[in-house]
Chains A and B, each alone.
Chain A
């Protein structure tokens, strides 16, 4: 019997949104309750899938649903998950569930806020489960509208600028992606991502059916497709030099939205690459793997270096995301099982640690109403529990052994060092600078905020509340848990990662 669990997970938030739209504007309690339910039930279902329904030893896609949607262009409602998407689906449901209580402080038009938040969840989950490229693209774009409004309405002083910048950057990326998708569709006659990947594996996705044949302006068709798709996803990650929208969006977005942005939306870029870009043009990927590795290392080092220079707490964390996501790209491009596993793990770990860091910033911002790193001092004396939580989050972000970040960064670097291409060894050496810089900016930030003499203004600060701790706790728990037992993720991903690396032509 076909299971519809993925559809339920995806569309429950949509039902929640419809319910919220029907509620009166001032029934804020009911609205929050519905939002909690509509994000909580998918989390329960996703957990059930993770530990119950998903067979981690089986190759291929599971829990597949496939029905015709737009017959005229043979687009299908085709969803399914494998070891690469399942952890991210679960992470999404978790972070959205955390984002709801983290948003309880928001006063402005709550009905619209929670409705948009739920719509955003539909889009994100849809991308992670979609296996039809048309469907994938539709979900990909559906996310943009709620995100635009969530930043634009509930954001900081420069929210209008940040919102449209985010929108324009992402749309620029996705129209390029659309062109590539159209070209692939014409060439192959299918939108199915698995079919496209197997066609590509057989070398039959080479543009022969397009009017210009396999070559265009002296470059092979696959090169064009590769770069169009890659730029679309790289903007989302964001990879240097496409990252400039990120600090603005992060700084202006309200805390829960920053959490979602860093925790999940950036993962969409990485996930898109390994699901819907590299496997479709494996030859072009191999050709440009080293270039991608270089971009990854530039992101690592540059992101960390710029973060070191920030005085805005949130901006610093935003740049740290650029740096951490650089490992993901480096891991992908190394084309080894270790690297790929590390990168996939790093996506998940960055999802928890960066989300935790943004929540940390939110806590202090709610009290001090500014984020100037130099404006605090000695906070540890009035907020000891907050300091303890921050320490865990920062150490996870630095990648201290025993924390999740260490495992994934180590695996990534090991995988890169092990790459068939010896030039990657230089990249590994260079990226170590990033690790040092990361430790520097985080520890320095901690020193400025928490240590030293107490700033008299902040004497009356109350320590972190139960609600705030409640949002933090699961993330920090995961940071530690996956540092000690990384196999809780790796075992699920392993089969899919092996397949992926073989498909891309790496050493199995």
Chain B
């Protein structure tokens, strides 16, 4: 067998995505933009193929192809996550009643391009490829955020996104160059293990003078912080989320954010938590963990308090997603294997609840033409199935049992306390109480007001999708082992303790 072809086989999902992206663009040209639903269906079909390929890769042992792309379970987790969110986003696009159905080919093309970026971003130990993947994701996202070309808000959103993105990409690149200068390698695991080209290792650098290492790591963290919208790199989030078309917002809030977390976990895991890592490097990692913990506390607090006063549900969900990034960071800040697992579980839970919440938003944008919480008044009685599903999403977002959101928070709390971050857990717990207030403003508008005179639209497919998500939020708590098992077994990048 040709070894080259074998290596190609390892990146089959990436190839599928590339071919699919081009095919979608071509199909749209051939059909002259008239059969937008078919293009959407083709995209979903292709994504399912990619998903199947990923599932088939699950049992292959971790290996590196072309010297750069890592195929392991960790990458697999985030790739499947991305494919899953993209399928949901495509369903949203198909069910979106407000969307113009022109240029839909480019729309799917950009989404798939962004997904490809994520695939490389989470599937590499090489900082350069990581940067390239991140940029591919960012570029596609900029275009997607500004997809409503005539819309001023959308254009503004895109512009803000570009400026913040450019800045943080620059910071990150600078950090990477510093790290390269210090260790002589771009490969994270080589950096951590001290097998780089230069005689000076990361361990030696930390021992001699930690300042340059600190600057490098902090600059790189800034790049990740921007992607997962962590304070103080969150300023773009509300505007972009509000201005972008709702399916794109969903993509940014779910897939793009999870990808940022994937890359962040790999960065920290490979640098500080591998088996070959020197003792003082690992100790240094704990100090980075403290920095992350402080960022987590600020992020969740700011996100929740800002969300309190939002009239627009979309903007509220944007701030809520900032807050949830803060919760997830608890797991990262622990700098332990169990903590990382908890963070990954929380991301999976976050997927279930946020997809639902954004789907709900999209559905009611179609009904009322508005995205304010007030416009939902009394609609719960008119569209009971979607609204009851939304109660499940809200409970999950708040962290009330019996939902996956509660279980995710529980796991984060356990690992947080176990890692000596009790204060952070207390902050997070009090934040949950604050978040209850704004999440349940939605429930209040839906059910506590008298029945609305508006009529809800029958969209059986979309409603069914949301109801299934709502049930999943509860059912995967009552029967939670598979999801947790998946998250646990996916974490194969750090040393087993």
Q: Are A138 and B440 in contact (CB under 8 A)?
A: no
What is the CA–CA distance of A45 and B391 in the complex, to the nearest angstrom? 32
Q: Are B447 and A182 in contact (CB under 8 A)?
A: no
Chain A nearest CB, measured from B373 CB (Å): 13
Q: Are A175 and B448 in contact (CB under 8 A)?
A: no
Does B171 reach chain A (CB closer than 8 Å)? no
Q: Are A109 and B426 in contact (CB under 8 A)?
A: no
- Chain A residues near B398 (CB-CB < 8 A): 171
Q: Are B430 and A71 in contact (CB under 8 A)?
A: no
Within 8 A of B (CB), among A176-205: 176, 178-179, 182-183, 185-186
Does B497 reach chain A (CB closer than 8 Å)? no
Q: A145-B400, A179-B429 are in contact. List 12 more A-B contacts (CB 8 A).
A: A72-B480, A72-B481, A144-B400, A153-B447, A160-B444, A171-B432, A178-B410, A179-B417, A179-B425, A182-B414, A183-B422, A212-B422
Within 8 A of A (CB), among B403-431: 406-407, 410-411, 413-414, 417-420, 422, 425-426, 429-430
Of the stretches A56-64, A161-169, A448-456, the one at the interface is A161-169
Does B276 reach chain A (CB closer than 8 Å)? no
What are 28 contact pairs spanning A and B, CB under 8 A?
A: A70-B481, A72-B485, A73-B410, A73-B411, A73-B414, A109-B381, A138-B401, A141-B401, A145-B395, A152-B447, A152-B448, A153-B448, A159-B448, A164-B440, A171-B400, A171-B433, A171-B436, A172-B430, A176-B429, A179-B417, A179-B425, A179-B429, A182-B425, A186-B414, A186-B418, A211-B417, A211-B420, A212-B420
- Chain A residues near B430 (CB-CB < 8 A): 172, 175
Given contacts A175-B429, A178-B429, A182-B417, contact A148 B410 (CB under 8 A): no
Within 8 A of B (CB), among A379-419: none
- Chain B residues near A212 (CB-CB < 8 A): 420, 422
Q: Are A148 and B401 in contact (CB under 8 A)?
A: no
Given contacts A72-B480, A186-B414, contact A142 B401 (CB under 8 A): yes
* Residue in contact with B444 in the complex, picked from A152, A178, A179, CB distance below 8 Å: A152
Q: Which residues of A contact B (CB under 8 A)?
A: 70-73, 109, 137-138, 141-142, 144-145, 148-149, 152-153, 159-160, 163-164, 167-168, 171-172, 175-176, 178-179, 182-183, 185-186, 210-212, 216
What is the CA–CA distance of A3 and B429 in the complex, to the nearest angstrom? 38
- Chain A residues near B480 (CB-CB < 8 A): 70, 72
What is the CA–CA distance of A183 and B416 in the complex, to the nearest angstrom? 10
Given contacts A70-B480, A137-B401, contact A210 B417 (CB under 8 A): yes
What is the CA–CA distance of A137 and B447 in the complex, to the nearest angstrom? 26
Q: Are B448 and A141 in contact (CB under 8 A)?
A: no
- Chain A residues near B401 (CB-CB < 8 A): 137-138, 141-142
What is the CA–CA distance of A90 and B381 in the complex, to the nearest angstrom? 35
Q: Are B402 and A138 in contact (CB under 8 A)?
A: yes
Q: Are A163 and B448 in contact (CB under 8 A)?
A: yes
Q: Are A168 and B481 in contact (CB under 8 A)?
A: no
What is the CA–CA distance of A362 and B440 in the complex, to the nearest angstrom? 29
- Tell me the nearest residue of chain B to A212, going by C-beta: B420
What is the CA–CA distance of A167 and B438 in the complex, to the nearest angstrom? 12
**Majority-rule SS of B interface residues:** helix
Q: Are A149 and B418 in contact (CB under 8 A)?
A: no
- Tell me the nearest residue of chain B to A108, going by C-beta: B450
Does B266 reach chain A (CB closer than 8 Å)? no
Does B315 reach chain A (CB closer than 8 Å)? no
- Chain B residues near A109 (CB-CB < 8 A): 381
Residue interface mask B272-289, A partner, CB < 8 A = 1: 000000000000000000
- Chain B residues near A142 (CB-CB < 8 A): 401-402
What is the CA–CA distance of A171 and B400 in the complex, to the nearest angstrom? 9
Given contacts A160-B448, A164-B444, contact A183 B417 (CB under 8 A): yes
Does B437 reach chain A (CB closer than 8 Å)? yes
- 6 smallest CB-CB distances across A and B, nearest first, come from A211-B420, A175-B429, A138-B401, A152-B448, A141-B401, A172-B433
What is the CA–CA distance of A145 and B485 in the complex, to the nearest angstrom? 29
What is the CA–CA distance of A226 and B485 in the complex, to the nearest angstrom? 33
Residue pairs across A and B with CB atoms within 8 Å: the count is 90
- Chain A residues near B488 (CB-CB < 8 A): 72
Q: Are A149 and B447 in contact (CB under 8 A)?
A: yes
Within 8 A of A (CB), among B445-462: 447-448
- Chain B residues near A182 (CB-CB < 8 A): 410, 413-414, 417, 425
Given contacts A70-B480, A164-B444, contact A141 B419 (CB under 8 A): no
- Tell me the nearest residue of chain A to B392, going by C-beta: A145
- Chain A residues near B407 (CB-CB < 8 A): 70
Does B484 reach chain A (CB closer than 8 Å)? yes
What is the CA–CA distance of A142 and B474 in the complex, to the nearest angstrom? 12
Chain B nearest CB, measured from A187 CB (Å): 10
Chain A nearest CB, measured from B3 CB (Å): 40
* Residue in contact with B440 in the complex, picked from A70, A167, A185, CB distance below 8 Å: A167
What is the CA–CA distance of A431 and B395 in the complex, to the nearest angstrom? 42
Q: Which of B391, B433, B437, B447 has the most CB of A within 10 A?
A: B433
- Tell me the nearest residue of chain B to A109, going by C-beta: B381
Chain A nearest CB, measured from B495 CB (Å): 19
* Residue in contact with A179 in the complex, picked from B381, B426, B481, CB distance below 8 Å: B426
What is the CA–CA distance of A137 and B429 in the complex, to the nearest angstrom? 15
Q: Are A167 and B425 in contact (CB under 8 A)?
A: no
- Tell me the nearest residue of chain B to A151, going by C-beta: B448
- Tell me the nearest residue of chain B to A71, going by C-beta: B481
- Tell me the nearest residue of chain B to A183, going by C-beta: B417
- Chain B residues near A152 (CB-CB < 8 A): 444, 447-448
- Tell me the nearest residue of chain A to B412, going by C-beta: A182
What is the CA–CA distance of A148 and B411 in the complex, to the nearest angstrom? 26
Within 8 A of A (CB), among B280-307: none
Q: Are A168 and B437 in contact (CB under 8 A)?
A: yes
- Chain B residues near A160 (CB-CB < 8 A): 444, 448
What is the CA–CA distance of A153 and B381 in the complex, to the nearest angstrom? 11
What is the CA–CA distance of A211 and B339 in the complex, to the nearest angstrom? 14
Chain A nearest CB, measured from B432 CB (Å): 6
Chain A nearest CB, measured from B166 CB (Å): 40
- Tell me the nearest residue of chain A to B416, going by C-beta: A182
Q: Which of A72, A149, A172, A185 has the most CB of B within 10 A?
A: A72
- Chain A residues near B419 (CB-CB < 8 A): 211
What is the CA–CA distance of A5 and B413 in the complex, to the nearest angstrom? 34
- Chain A residues near B443 (CB-CB < 8 A): 148-149
What is the CA–CA distance of A148 and B395 in the complex, to the nearest angstrom? 12
- Chain A residues near B422 (CB-CB < 8 A): 179, 183, 212, 216
Given contacts A152-B448, A164-B440, contact A211 B418 (CB under 8 A): yes
- Tell me the nearest residue of chain B to A210, going by C-beta: B417
Chain B nearest CB, measured from A229 CB (Å): 14
Chain A nearest CB, measured from B486 CB (Å): 11
What is the CA–CA distance of A469 and B421 in the complex, to the nearest angstrom? 57
What is the CA–CA distance of A469 and B66 in the complex, to the nearest angstrom? 83
What is the CA–CA distance of A186 and B422 in the complex, to the nearest angstrom? 12
- Chain B residues near A71 (CB-CB < 8 A): 481
- Chain B residues near A172 (CB-CB < 8 A): 430, 433
- Chain B residues near A145 (CB-CB < 8 A): 391, 395, 400
- Chain B residues near A153 (CB-CB < 8 A): 447-448
- Tell me the nearest residue of chain B to A176, going by C-beta: B429
What is the CA–CA distance of A179 and B406 in the complex, to the nearest angstrom? 13
What is the CA–CA distance of A72 and B480 in the complex, to the nearest angstrom? 9
What is the CA–CA distance of A212 and B440 in the complex, to the nearest angstrom? 36
What is the CA–CA distance of A47 and B432 in the complex, to the nearest angstrom? 40
- Chain A residues near B432 (CB-CB < 8 A): 171, 175
What is the CA–CA distance of A4 and B46 in the complex, to the nearest angstrom? 49
What is the CA–CA distance of A168 and B420 in the complex, to the nearest angstrom? 28
Chain A nearest CB, measured from B380 CB (Å): 9
Q: Are B413 and A178 in contact (CB under 8 A)?
A: yes
- Chain B residues near A159 (CB-CB < 8 A): 448
- Chain A residues near B448 (CB-CB < 8 A): 149, 152-153, 159-160, 163
Q: Are A186 and B417 in contact (CB under 8 A)?
A: yes
Residue interface mask B481-496, A partner, CB < 8 A = 1: 1001100100000000
- Chain A residues near B444 (CB-CB < 8 A): 152, 160, 163-164
Chain B nearest CB, measured from A96 CB (Å): 20
* Residue in contact with A168 in the complex, picked from B417, B433, B447, CB distance below 8 Å: B433
